[in-house]
Amino acid sequence: LLVDPERWDTPRMFHEIFDKPQNHHVLTHTKGDEAKEKLTIIDRYHVEFFRYVTERMKAIPEGDGTLLDHVALCMGSGISDGNSHNYADLQVL
């Protein structure tokens, strides 16, 4: 919302990244290479979107710098292993 306030009143945008709907939560509980590949695609999408947001913030003037200069950002996951609901060794950026 900080980087695209003109979209506040528009429907949530959906970025289709698969040929059919996928349930992210179900994929985190599914074993096998196919599920891991799909989760990698979803993770890549999230990281690329995080990059987009930070680049937009960097381009927005705010006070004596940019919007990015005046915020604290955190990106990560609430769980490290969906099958065991393990939260050890979480990677946070």
DSSP, res 65: E
Question: How would residue 56 be classed by pLDDT, with cut points 50, 70 and 90?
Answer: very high
Q: In whole angstroms, how large is the CA radius of gyration of the chain? A: 16
pTM of the model: 0.73
What average pLDDT does range 80-91 have in this prediction? 80
Mean pLDDT for all residues in the chain: 80
Phi-psi region of 89 (alpha: psi -120 to 50; beta: other; left: phi over 0): left
CA 84 to chain centre: 22
Question: How would residue 7 be classed by pLDDT, with cut points 50, 70 and 90?
Answer: low
Q: List the domain boundaries for the chain.
A: 22-93
The pair of three-digit structure tokens given for residue 82, joined into one six-digit string: 């969906």
d(CA 70, CA 61): 10
